[in-house]
Chains A and B, each alone.
Chain A
Amino acid sequence: MGKQLLLGNEAIGLGLIRSGCRMVTAYPGTPSSEILSSVIRYKTHAPEVVYAEWSANEKVAFETALAASWSGLRAATAMKQVGLNVAADPFFSSAYTGVVGGFVVISCDDPGPHSSQTEQDSRLLAHAAKVPVLDPSTPVEALQMTGFAFELSERFQIPVLLRPTTRLCHSRQSFNSDAVLFPATAGPQARGFHKDPQRWAATPAFRLKLHVELVQKLEAIEQEFETSELNRIQGSFGENGSAPVGVIASGVAFHTALQVLRDFGANIPVLKLGTPYPLPRRLVADFIRRCERVIVLEEPDATIELQIPDRTRVRGRLDGTVPQAGELTPERAAAILAEALDEAGFPVPAPADERLTALVQGMAVPPRRPRLCPGCSHRSAYFAIKRTFGPQAIYPGDIGCYTLGTNLRAMDTCLDMGGSVTMAAGFYHAGRLLGDERPIVATIGDSTFLHAGIVPLANAVHNDARFILVILDNHTTAMTGTQPTLASAVGTDGAAALPASIPDLVRACGVRFVREADPYDQDPFQELLKEAHSFTRAPEGGAAVIIADRPCAIFDPTPIDAHPIPVTVTEECDGCRYCVEAFECPAIVLRPDGSRVDIDLKTCVECGQCIDACYKGFIVPQVELQHA
């Protein structure tokens, strides 16, 4: 294959395949999604020996892959950081039971956050679960560490967390794929699941024994990390063997620090830690002893810093030297290092031109927020919901592209996967206590419903919560790159699969009002919403579910292409901005002088949905105008 550019997530996928990993499971979530996608691509060379699965959720993914490990196979599961919360139950428990075949958990953190609800640090969760962590700093290092993670996991019979961050997952690095970074191994000889109830089905008495074993494993792993090649010192101490300032860094922050120090021309020692937990405390203490002051640069939280026993000379997140929230950008790293170096008497170059920065900021360039794509069926559904129930109704929402429904003011809450259904029920019961009779209209995507919405719906119906749930069924997991869902007729590999039926699942939860409708049919859809509302208010009624059935315009544009409706804006348009704000299609563009809107033909997909968005009738089909 020679030299090529490798995306961080592809590097991890390649590392899994090269390590002889036999099962990889995942639930998609930015920034982790391309890991399994690349496994599916790479495994085409050996389809019969590697099982890959887009699972219903992270807990399902975790447990499925763990069973492969308990059968003696190398296995891995990939998710984003909040996905590890969903899988936290088996994550903690599997640290006690241990594993047989190497078992690697990949949890991608999102400092920023760029595409997540939280900036949580998976390494801290691993610390709580007592699972060792490897923290790669580049795509190529992630590939290498994947191989090492399996080897470590097998030697100590313990799950290992590989923890990349967004900037690594979504960076492409040049890489010579012919280079042998670690020997391709198939892991130990797998013998299938071997019964051992005192381990695999341990009761609390045996769990204590397993906990003692786990603690011993971690002590041995810490010893090994003291001399691991994954930890090294870059830069140098002074002639007397000490330095006024030193840096401890891990992950992407390590290269950010190196870049800044190189730009500054400052040669100071940097301890690069690839093993943040368990922390090799002797190595770290020795390093700190040789520095007058040490800055800890890590993301997104203070995992390394918290484990340093004596922090007298240490500066980091805990004392506020490093901001406690937000990404550790090169600008932030530069400001932190400049201050420390300046205090230590190093010359520090001036930062970027302040006048240019001030001039540009003074221009007040408006931020460009993300919007639903042209032709998006969610926009039509939200437009109908908003037109039917107005600003007073309570709109619990969920996680996906359709979270952008907040722009259309048809989503009031977005907590976590499946939270729309549970919170709709909670708002209903709370409203009863308060005498608050506002309608409650919750929205959830198809993939999110199948991930975490089914049990909440059964719970809501069983407890007679009254609300409307609109399942925005666009036939795919759109936000993360159109992965199949459980309701898809194709499986992970693209082969035929048995689809779960969303309407049947909804009925099985006890819902008696279940309708499927195309949100593109604006008027009937609004009528259906009113009918559903009546059902929630009728004494013999209950929760009502409408399945808004329309494929994602990116995933499957064929229904739009089969009936294109090119539109135009008439001369009468007065620039009232209603369509711009209430419909917010990227193809409807307000003129800079605000006089009127135009259709941007570059982005318009000719779905015709905006005709309903101008209540004055100024957006019309092109044919109509020609005939007029």
Chain B
Amino acid sequence: MPDLQGRIVLAGVGGQGVIFASRLLAEAALAAGAQVMVSESHGMSQRGGSVAAHLIIGDEPGPLIRRGTADTLIALDRLEGLRHLPVLRPGGAVFINAVEGFPEPVRARLDELGVSVCQLDADGEGLRLGSPAIANVVLLGFLAAHTSLGLSLDDLKHAVRGLGPPPAVKINLSALDGGARNANDPDHGHCARLRPSTVALEQASR
């Protein structure tokens, strides 16, 4: 297997679990044998303001990702996603928790740049699963189902088991599965360009 590599930016609002989501991906990458660097926001910025985490997988002790060079943007909030779009490189992918898509001129430019836009109402899926607080993990399940990071759904499940007490593990595992299942459901998850992986869908149904 080639070395895992990637530059991932996670964006959202304080309280949405941006830091937890970045921890989860980082632990999964670490377990897969990669070197990892994650940059977090603490302090004042955690009080309900914009929060971003930068995750670099590979031998690159960053710690920040330069605008125009991220492979993946994970946005737990539509406006924060919009704000952070310029971080993506041409051909990158954005996974966004939103009901409404990006405004037309932005969408058109993303298309010209070859950026995949993968959209899921992760809040809605979280509510269906019984907790509005798990949208972050739902979105990661949705992302894993598209294999664009080289981390499988099972890799993320393994990482979830290592983080947090058993009740949280249980709900987070269901969140990963819920997100992954939506990858194949045209009523909920939309993804231009990227196709869901059948392996991930099998892992989600187990």
Binding site for B on A (CB under 8 A): 3-5, 30-31, 114-115, 137-138, 167-168, 170-174, 252, 255-256, 258-260, 262-263, 329-331, 334, 351-353, 355-357, 359-360, 363, 365-373, 401, 404, 479-480, 586, 602-603
Contacts and interface: CB of A to CB of B under 8 A. Distances in A.
A5 B22 CA distance: 12
A114 B50 CA distance: 12
B65 A330 contact: yes
A371 B35 contact: no
B66 A170 contact: no
Interface string B60-101: 111111111100000000011011011100100000000000
Nearest to A29: B43
A443 B13 CA distance: 28
Contacts of A356: 85-86, 106, 109-110, 113
B41 A114 contact: yes
Contacts of A262: 60
B171 interface: no
A418 to B, nearest CB: 19
B49 interface: yes
Contacts of B39: 167, 170-171
Most chain B CB within 10 A, of A355, A365, A586, A603, is at A365
A30 B60 contact: no
Given A331-B67, A367-B50, A352 B86 contact: yes
B198 interface: no
A360 B72 CA distance: 17
Interface string B96-121: 00000001011001100100000000
Given A167-B39, A368-B13, A401 B83 contact: no
- CB-CB nearest 4 A-B residue pairs: A352-B68, A30-B43, A330-B66, A115-B43
A256 B42 contact: no
Contacts of B86: 352-353, 356-357, 360
B63 A5 contact: no
Given A171-B37, A404-B47, A255 B62 contact: yes
15 contacts: A5-B23, A114-B45, A167-B64, A170-B40, A172-B23, A174-B35, A263-B69, A330-B62, A330-B65, A356-B85, A359-B106, A359-B109, A360-B85, A363-B106, A371-B49
Interface residues of B, number: 50
B45 A115 contact: yes
A370 B45 contact: yes
A466 to B, nearest CB: 33
A328 to B, nearest CB: 10
Contacts of A352: 66-69, 86-87
B67 A351 contact: yes
B68 A351 contact: yes
A170 B64 CA distance: 11
A171 B62 CA distance: 9
Given A331-B67, A370-B45, 7 more contacts: A5-B36, A172-B40, A173-B61, A255-B60, A259-B60, A353-B109, A370-B47
A373 B15 CA distance: 10
B194 interface: no
B130 interface: no
A30 B106 contact: no
A480 B106 CA distance: 38
B201 interface: no
A603 B123 CA distance: 14
A168 B62 CA distance: 10
A365 B105 CA distance: 15
A359 B83 contact: no
A360 B79 CA distance: 10
A256 B30 contact: no
Contacts of B110: 356
A367 B83 CA distance: 9
Contacts of A114: 41, 43-45
B61 A138 contact: yes
Interface in B144-172: none
A3 B42 CA distance: 24
A30 B86 CA distance: 28
Contact of A360 (B34, B63, B83): B83
A5 B14 CA distance: 22
A258 B62 CA distance: 8
B176 to A, nearest CB: 20
A390 B42 CA distance: 33
A401 B14 CA distance: 14
Contact of B82 (A330, A363, A371): A363
A360 B81 CA distance: 10
B21 interface: no
A263 B68 CA distance: 11
B12 to A, nearest CB: 10
Given A174-B36, A602-B132, A479 B49 contact: no
A359 B104 CA distance: 11
A90 B42 CA distance: 29
Contact of B48 (A31, A353, A365, A370): A370
A329 B109 CA distance: 25
Given A5-B30, A357-B67, A173 B36 contact: yes
A356 B113 CA distance: 9
Given A360-B85, A370-B47, A5 B27 contact: yes
Contacts of B27: 5
Given A172-B26, A173-B37, A368 B48 contact: yes
B129 interface: no
Contact of A355 (B13, B60, B109): B109
A97 to B, nearest CB: 34
Contacts of B15: 586, 603
A570 to B, nearest CB: 24
